Amino acid sequence: MATLSVKHLLGIKYLDEKDIQLIFETADHFKEVINRSIKKVPSLRDITIANIFFESSTRTKLSFELAEKRLSADVINFSASQSSVKKGETLIDTVNNILSMKVDMVVMRHPNPGAGIFLSKHVKASIINAGDGAHEHPTQALLDSYSIREKLGDVSGKKVVIIGDVLHSRVALSNIFALKLQGAQVKVCGPKTLIPKYIESLGVEIEPNLRKALNWCDVANMLRIQNERMEISYFPTTREYTQQYGINKTILESLDKEIVIMHPGPINRGVEITSDVADSSQSIILHQVENGVAIRMAVIYLLASQIK
Amino acid sequence: MLSNKLVALSMSQKVLLSSKEIHIILHRLACQLLENHLDFKDTVLIGLQPRGIFLAKRLARILKEEYKVPGIKLGLLDITFYRDDFRRGDKPLEASTTHIDFLVEGKNVVLIDDVLYTGRSIRAALTAIQSFGRPQDIELLTLIDRRFSRHLPIQPNYRGRQVDAINEEKVKVMWEENEGKDVVYLVNK
């Protein structure tokens, strides 16, 4: 069987198409496992994994922890708010201290872009990036593509529009890399101030008009406005944003076809998406969460198989 | 391709079981199962992925078509995630599909694999099957039993043929459904 071409999962940028297919095929098997009455396999019983979160997270952290436990790995959790980081310890020191307790793999979320890449050059352990600033969130992009594949049969040739705060979104960047790698067409849609300059150099088109974007696409991936990353005002009011870029039942019903609605969470109900859309049969938001565990099991399993 | 042919030429192989012998053995094994399980009301057959499934499917077909046993329950079990050599081999372990659409709770389970060698696959299967419930009892059926090579205290309840093969030799089981003909070879590596 093929192995992953990488020793760490730092970003989709470093993967090739074969890696993505291998992760999906492995995730298929784990999806079957997590739907059994006994949802656990003993594969990783001699592996210890540290989840290091320097930034808050609920879904991703729970999903990783569950994936690790379903594979029978030993898990330690660490949040920056309750740690020596506050006392002035550097990232490398913190991680090396954890690794001296014989940890094989590190899952890390960090507010600085490139934190995982930096760490992978300085410590001996397999690193999985669980989000680094506004840079990448590879497992989210993998589970998004996996959910599209599950719903529509294939990712190749599908039209996906990413709507909202693309500028501050690691989910958007990882999704663009993943979707392009699999041969999907991608557009981004949002206020000009929230679309990064030069995004077209990644091979995506900008569609400023929400209705046109929705009429074009098979899948709409809705993003949250990341107020916590905004130091200046990017649009006049939330109400105006919702009127221009929020989706609701009325606009979806006025389209020629039924499109698939995705959201990486957390949802701000009534801002980028209304409740009737988020909870409708068009939305695969909760399938994304379920698939997240299978995808993370696959990534961890494949990376752990390379640890000697 | 060329290198494959060269390897094939440099290896000597002899026929251990011919198509006709396999045919007779399969019918005997089916009869032995029938003798112990009669109507198969509480019995399920579990073929081990990837190679045991051909044997399991063949036996299920013989029982159904030639001995008219209705409602044979057949499951396919992949043991990859339960193996004890994760990270110990050179190659990563490749998973196959598990397909068991019934509970094994209280059932008589017959594990089916083509070759019994070290017994480690069966050990993994014994762990794996617990994910689907607590069986009443578990039996083991194998086409080829390589005795004297066991690493664990595991023996088959039903065996096709017992073979004394040394570790340098390999037993290769081929099936009509997959390789075009039924034959078992003993290959000198």
Judge: B92–A308 Cβ closer than 8 Å, yes or no.
no
- The answer to the question of residue A4 being in a domain is no
- The answer to the question of residue A235 being in a domain is yes
pTM of the predicted model as reported, rounded to 2 decimal places:
0.88
How many DSSP H helices and E strands does chain B contain? 5, 8
pLDDT tens track for B22-76: 999 999 999 999 999 988 999 999 999 999 999 999 999 999 999 999 989 999 9
Q: Tell whether A109 and A29 lie within a shared domain.
A: yes
Helix (H) or strand (E) holding A173: helix A170-181
Best of A5, A21, A43 to mutate (most B CBs within 10 Å, chain B): A43
B43 is written with which tokens? 């019995």
**CA distances (Å), origin A251, targets A248, A272, A285:** 6, 13, 19
A5–chain B Cβ distance below 8 A for any pair: no
CATH number given to B19-188: 3.40.50.2020
Which amino acid appears at position A140 of this protein? Q
Q: Tell whether A157 and A283 lie within a shared domain.
A: yes
B81 vs chain A: nearest CA distance in angstroms?
5
- The answer to the question of residue A24 being in a domain is yes
Q: Tell whether A148 and A258 lie within a shared domain.
A: yes
| Range of the structural domain that residue A149 is part of | 138-288
A258 is written with which tokens? 């039924």
Judge: B81–A38 Cβ closer than 8 Å, yes or no.
no
- The answer to the question of residue A1 being in a domain is no
Distance CA A32, CA B74 (A): 17
Q: Tell whether A127 and A187 lie within a shared domain.
A: no
With contacts defined as CB-CB under 8 Å, which chain A residues touch B120? none
- The answer to the question of residue A273 being in a domain is yes
Q: Tell whether A146 and A276 lie within a shared domain.
A: yes
Q: Tell whether A218 and A249 lie within a shared domain.
A: yes
Q: Tell whether A212 and A280 lie within a shared domain.
A: yes
pLDDT band at B1 (very low <50, low <70, confident <90, very high): very low
The ipTM assigned to this model is 0.77
- The answer to the question of residue A131 being in a domain is yes
Q: What CATH number is attached to the domain comprising A61?
A: 3.40.50.1370
B7 vs chain A: nearest CA distance in angstroms?
21
pLDDT tens track for A49-96: 999 999 888 889 999 999 999 999 999 998 877 666 677 788 888 888
Q: Which of A36, A42, A44 sits opposite B127 (nearest CB)?
A: A42
pLDDT value of residue A116: 94
Q: Tell whether A38 and A109 lie within a shared domain.
A: yes
Work out the burial of residue B101: count CB atoms within 10 Å of its CB; fewer than 13 is exposed, 13-18 middle, 19 or more buried. Answer: exposed
Q: Tell whether A155 and A237 lie within a shared domain.
A: yes
Structural domains in chain A (count): 2
- The answer to the question of residue A248 being in a domain is yes
pLDDT value of residue A132: 94
Number of Cα atoms under 13 Å in the Cβ half of residue A263: 26
Residue written as token pair 């011919």: B18
Best of A19, A24, A41 to mutate (most B CBs within 10 Å, chain B): A41
User: Phi, psi (5° rounding) for residue B143?
Assistant: -75, -45
Q: For the residues A111-132, what does the mean pLDDT come to? A: 93
Judge: A302–B92 Cβ closer than 8 Å, yes or no.
yes
